[in-house]
Amino acid sequence: MAAHVSVNHGLLALLLVLICLSCAEGAVRVARQRLEVRRHLKRFNKPAVKSIKSPDGDIIDCVHVSHQPAFDHPFLKNHTIQMRPAFHPLGLYDENKMASKKKTSSIAQLWHQNGRCPEDTIPIRRTKRDDVLRASSVKRYGKKSHRTVPNPTSVDPDLLNESGHQHAIAYVEGDKYYGAKATINVWEPKIQQSNEFSLSQLWILGGSFGEDLNSIEAGWQVSPDLYGDNNTRLFTYWTSDAYQATGCYNLLCSGFIQINREIAMGASIYPISGYGGSQYDISILVWKDPKEGNWWMQFGNDYVLGYWPSFLFSYLADTASMIEWGGEVVNSQPDGEHTSTEMGSGHFPEEGFGKASYFRNIQIVDESNNLKAPKGVGTFTEQSNCYDVQNGNNGDWGNYFYYGGPGRNSNCP
């Protein structure tokens, strides 16, 4: 009997040792993750000259222009900041004169209600610990998943839904493009699950849809995973290897050099359009400076935000071969059904102005640095019963299209 008891004691002791070991391992893992998160936050959040609390809970840090994340890049250590582009696209200001005659409601960012950043600083949305922890891994924070660019030339239906991303876009290809412009209707689409998003943007693309794709992207997005809420936010993205190792959203890695102190990447846009109510839109222009070769971005008529240095890219160091404009959502097929995450306003294009979302005055920049109407615009959507696109042309809006939809409905199970 005594022997039996001692064996049990031995087993118990062994069990306790194993439990302690696995506890210790868990503790080491947690400590390591904490350390990694802290290191990342230190890299993202630069010392601020001033901080502004936005009504939506964001903190906007005003960081000295020469201390921004771009300058962590080894190739930018001795970079002289270009404070303005050598050239704007020709034809930009004629159009702005026309636009100023038409009364459009003006848009700002929510944080402006509580202050502005001083001279020689730029506004950066502060990354919080929870932002990083929501990502699939600390390393993937601020990055899109692989294979998310809509490839309208792919006819393989298996590839179309492979990535779980769905699109409704207009596009041009087959020429050399040096930029693109659009005025984009701003909405707040509903997102079914926090790991999904809905965005409306333009894509400037170079290379193939393989592993070497170069992309510069800008627009608005609702992304609970990235920002922790359902607000509509201004964003940019870049990659030079099809979203694998390079690039990120906004200023979440070294790349984009911001020069503007008024507009914060990733900050909430305000106000937004209402169904059957006031309509708001934002205008975005991305173009390649013919002198320096950098890709510049302008928001609205007044805000030149900054530039992506051309050395970040391979194909785009030269020219873009395709431009896309439109909407993208993630369909993670919750419970085996199509997601009810909305694109655009959440309504189909045929509902028209005030109800469906639009892109208007879509243009490209040609090799002579002229803003021009795009020729031979195609449209593309994977499942038009879920999200659709319809394009048109008229005097005021030039080339335009309505796009979007509700996702899951009786025709899109």
pLDDT in tens, 369-380: 999 999 999 999
Average pLDDT over residues 224-240: 97
If one counts the domains in the chain, the total is 1
pLDDT digits (tens, 9 = 90+) for 144-203: 887 678 888 775 655 555 568 999 999 999 999 999 999 999 999 999 999 999 999 999
Average pLDDT over the chain, rounded to an integer: 91
Q: According to the model, what pLDDT value does residue 161 have?
A: 57
Q: According to the model, what pLDDT value does residue 103 have?
A: 45
On the question of pLDDT at 239 being above 70, the answer is yes
The CA-atom distances, in angstroms, between 350 and each of 215, 356, 384, 388, 399 are 30, 7, 12, 9, 17
Closest to 284 measured CA to CA, from 268, 298, 302: 298
Q: According to the model, what pLDDT value does residue 1 have?
A: 54
Q: According to the model, what pLDDT value does residue 330 have?
A: 95
The larger pLDDT score, comparing residue 160 to residue 254, is at 254
Q: Which two tokens stand for residue 290?
A: 């013919």
CA angle 386, 392, 393 (to 5 degrees): 160
CATH number reported for the structural domain that contains residue 202 in this entry: 2.60.120.1270
Does 291 fall in a domain? yes
Average pLDDT over residues 254-261: 97
Q: According to the model, what pLDDT value does residue 101 have?
A: 43
Q: According to the model, what pLDDT value does residue 139 have?
A: 87
Does 23 fall in a domain? no
Place of tokens 């402006």: 112
In single-letter form, the type of residue at position 377 comes to: V
Does 366 fall in a domain? yes
Does 412 fall in a domain? no
Does 180 fall in a domain? yes
| 76-85, 124-133, 142-151, 152-161, range with the lowest pLDDT | 152-161
Q: Which two tokens stand for residue 222?
A: 């609702």
| 73-82, 91-100, 240-249, range with the lowest pLDDT | 91-100
Does 1 fall in a domain? no
Q: What is the pTM of this model?
A: 0.91
Pairing verdict, β 257-258 and 59-64: unpaired
Q: How many CB atoms lie within 10 A of CB 23?
A: 10
| 156-160, 193-197, 219-223, 342-346, range with the lowest pLDDT | 156-160
Q: According to the model, what pLDDT value does residue 102 have?
A: 44
Residues serving a catalytic function are 217, 328
On the question of pLDDT at 10 being above 80, the answer is no
pLDDT digits (tens, 9 = 90+) for 94-114: 655 554 444 455 778 999 999
Does 232 fall in a domain? yes
Domain with 79, as residue range(s), is 47-95+122-142+164-405
Q: According to the model, what pLDDT value does residue 93 have?
A: 66
Side by side, which strands form the sheet with 233-239? 248-249, 233-239, 214-222, 198-206, 320-330, 165-177, 378-381
Q: According to the model, what pLDDT value does residue 105 have?
A: 59
Return d(Cα 90, Cα 365) in angstroms, integer.
9
The CA-atom distances, in angstroms, between 308 and each of 215, 256, 257, 287 are 11, 5, 6, 10
Q: According to the model, what pLDDT value does residue 9 have?
A: 74
The larger pLDDT score, comparing residue 289 to residue 156, is at 289
Q: According to the model, what pLDDT value does residue 2 have?
A: 52
**Beta bridge partners of residue 404, listed in sequence order:** 388
Closest to 80 measured CA to CA, from 251, 380, 307: 307
On the question of pLDDT at 312 being above 90, the answer is yes
Query: Percent of the chain, pLDDT > 70?
Result: 92
pLDDT grade for 335, boundaries at 50, 70 and 90: confident
Does 155 fall in a domain? no
